[in-house]
Amino acid sequence: MTDRSKMGVVVLLGAVMVGWAQVARADHFSGSCGSELNAVEAAIESGVYLGNKATTEESNLLAKLEATDAKILLGKFSDAVDKLQDISDRATALADAPKPKLEDATGINGAVGDAIACVGAL
């Protein structure tokens, strides 16, 4: 196999993996308020994180979202709302820091607001 054909296989494999990841992510949260939680996840993932702990900050927000889903599944809706508020508060703190760690929290906070409205209605 030539180097060009190897590169083509790698590019094709990468494209398949990206497509699969998008399909998998689309159905990540499917229970009560699943579409709203998916929107929060997409907003977190599309955020522009700054600094040497950018990956950690994004991962921490996603972990809070997973904890939110767990609370919903347990029927602990008030706790789920608190977790969502934690996400919003942390995103705002990252964006408003003297040396910002998140370029803008608007998208995350908007998605969280919609999710809070959904969970609050459960």
Structure tokens at 86: 């934690």
**Contact in structure between 87 and 68 (CB atoms under 8 Å):** yes
Structure tokens at 31: 């229970």
**Contact in structure between 77 and 119 (CB atoms under 8 Å):** yes
pLDDT tops 90 at residue 6: no
Task: Summarize pLDDT for 11-62 with one digit per residue, the tens.
Answer: 334 444 444 444 444 557 878 899 999 999 999 999 999 999 999 999 999 9
pTM, entire model: 0.77
92 by Cβ neighbours in 10 Å (0-12 / 13-18 / 19+) ranks as middle
Amino acid 31: pLDDT: 81
Task: Summarize pLDDT for 80-122 with one digit per residue, the tens.
Answer: 999 999 999 999 999 999 999 999 999 999 999 999 999 999 9
